[in-house]
C-alpha cells in the first residue's frame, strides 16, 4: 500500500512541478500570501523529505528566491537556516550526507543576493 501511495504522490508532485514550470513568472502568485504559503511548504519538504523531493523543493525555493522581493528573500533565508539547524541537531552517520547537501544548497541560496544575506547570516552568528 505504501509503494502505490508513494508512486501516486510522486506522480502528483511531478505533474505539479511541470505545471508550475509552464506558468509565466508574472502569474505565479504575486500576492504575498500565496508566495509565503508556497515557500513554507517548500521549506518543510526541503527539510524532511526523500532525496528526489528534496531536490525539487530546493529548485522551487531557488526559483522563488531569484524572482522574489527582499522580504520574501529574507523569509526564505531565515526558514532555510532554521530548518538546517533543526536537522543538524540530530546528526548521525546516516544523516550526515543529507545535512551536507542541505548546507551546500542553503549556501547556494544565500549567494543569490549577498546584500540581503549578509545581515541575516551575521545576525545568527
Q: Give the alpha-carbon dihedral of 45, 42, 54, 22, to 10 degrees.
A: 130
pLDDT the model gives residue 104: 92
DSSP assignments along 13-55, one per residue: HHHHHHHHHHS-GGGS--SHHHHHHHHHHHHHHHHSS-HHHHH
Contact 106, 81 (CB under 8 A): yes
* pLDDT by 10s per residue, the chain, length 125: 667 777 887 888 788 777 777 766 544 545 567 777 878 888 888 887 677 888 888 888 888 888 888 888 888 899 888 888 888 888 888 888 888 988 999 999 999 988 888 888 788 77
| 5 exposure class (CB count in 10 Å sphere: 0-12, 13-18, 19+) | exposed
In 3D, which of 73, 66, 84 has the Cα closest to residue 118?
73
Amino acid at each position: 500500500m505504501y509503494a502505490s501511495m508513494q508512486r501516486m504522490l510522486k506522480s502528483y508532485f511531478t505533474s505539479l512541478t511541470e505545471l508550475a514550470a509552464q506558468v509565466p513568472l508574472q502569474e505565479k502568485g504575486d500576492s504575498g500570501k500565496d508566495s509565503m504559503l508556497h515557500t513554507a511548504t517548500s521549506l518543510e519538504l526541503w527539510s524532511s523529505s526523500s532525496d528526489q523531493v528534496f531536490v525539487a523543493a530546493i529548485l522551487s525555493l531557488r526559483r522563488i528566491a531569484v524572482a522574489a522581493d527582499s522580504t520574501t528573500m529574507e523569509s526564505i533565508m531565515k526558514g532555510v537556516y532554521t530548518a538546517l539547524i533543526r536537522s543538524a541537531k540530530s546528526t548521525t552517520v546516516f544523516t550526515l550526507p543529507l545535512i551536507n547537501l542541505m548546507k551546500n544548497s542553503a549556501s547556494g541560496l544565500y549567494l543569490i543576493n549577498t546584500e540581503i544575506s549578509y545581515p541575516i547570516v551575521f545576525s545568527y552568528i
